[in-house]
């Protein structure tokens, strides 16, 4: 799996469901460049068990992400029709009704592959298309992408391990604090804590000279 930290997030333009039930075509992260940070949230599959707990958890904290000018975007290898169907099912029945942030349909699994979250056995044909040797789903990947489209944070969990919304918010706070103040954030840093002065002109220079 390729580590994407410090690199431009792979581009894509696909179908999605937004605002809890509206179909859109050509959904792309390009719309956020120069405007918002993005939290891209991969999950394995619609109509499952752990996934709705995560999707609802991020919805419950959505206002806190929006206050920080962060767009939350969900994505799985299901179709947009599957997303829409699941959005019609109430939370009490295992559905995700009430989710308002976009849900992307990575039908050909290319996005999951490019972000290094794709599970399963697969290869590519001569035209660069994925060839599956079984079911392929996305691991629980989370990517924090800055306003320039560069990946600043990534984690990938196996299927049984749900993610933390509080940790995602902490990473957003840390990144934005560094962007605004040029100070770096030590272990377990939280908003309001003291940070550390960065005495190097750039991280790249520091790494080159270390």
Residues tagged active-site:
51
Q: Per the structure block, which two tokens stand in for 32?
A: 């956020």
- Taking the C-alpha atoms of residue 189 and residue 135, their distance in angstroms, rounded to an integer, is 40
Closest CA to 8 of 152, 138, 111: 152
DSSP assignments along the chain, one per residue: ----TTSBPPP--EEEEETTTEEEEEE-GGGGTTT-EEEEEE-S-SS-SHHHHHHHHHHHTHHHHHHTTEEEEEEESS-HHHHHHHHTS-GGGT--TT--S-EEE-TTSHHHHHTT-EES-EEE-TTS-EEESS--EE-EEEEEE-TTSBEEEEEEE-TT----HHHHHHHHHHHHHHHHH-EE--TT--TTS--EE--SS-HHHHHHH-
Q: Per the structure block, which two tokens stand in for 189?
A: 């840093």
- Contact (CB, 8 A) for 137 and 44: yes
């Amino acid at each position: 799996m390729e580590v994407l930290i410090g690199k431009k997030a792979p581009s894509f333009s696909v179908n999605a469901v937004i605002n809890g039930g509206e179909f859109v075509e050509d959904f792309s992260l390009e719309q956020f460049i120069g405007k918002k940070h993005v939290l891209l949230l991969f999950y394995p599959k619609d109509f499952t068990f752990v996934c709705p707990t995560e999707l609802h958890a991020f919805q419950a904290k959505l206002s806190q992400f929006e206050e920080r000018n962060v767009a939350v975007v969900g994505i799985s290898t299901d179709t947009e029709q599957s997303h829409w169907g699941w959005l019609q099912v109430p939370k009490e029945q295992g559905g995700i009704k009430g989710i308002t942030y976009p849900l992307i349909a990575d039908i050909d699994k290319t996005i999951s592959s490019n972000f290094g979250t794709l599970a399963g056995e697969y290869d590519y044909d001569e035209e660069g298309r994925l060839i599956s040797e079984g079911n392929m789903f996305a691991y629980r990947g989370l990517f924090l992408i800055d306003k320039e489209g560069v990946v600043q944070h990534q984690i990938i969990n196996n299927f049984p391990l749900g993610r933390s919304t509080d940790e995602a918010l902490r990473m957003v706070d840390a990144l934005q604090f560094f962007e605004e103040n040029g100070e770096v954030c030590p272990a377990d840093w939280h908003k309001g804590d003291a940070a550390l002065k960065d005495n190097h002109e750039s991280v790249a220079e520091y790494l080159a000279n270390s």
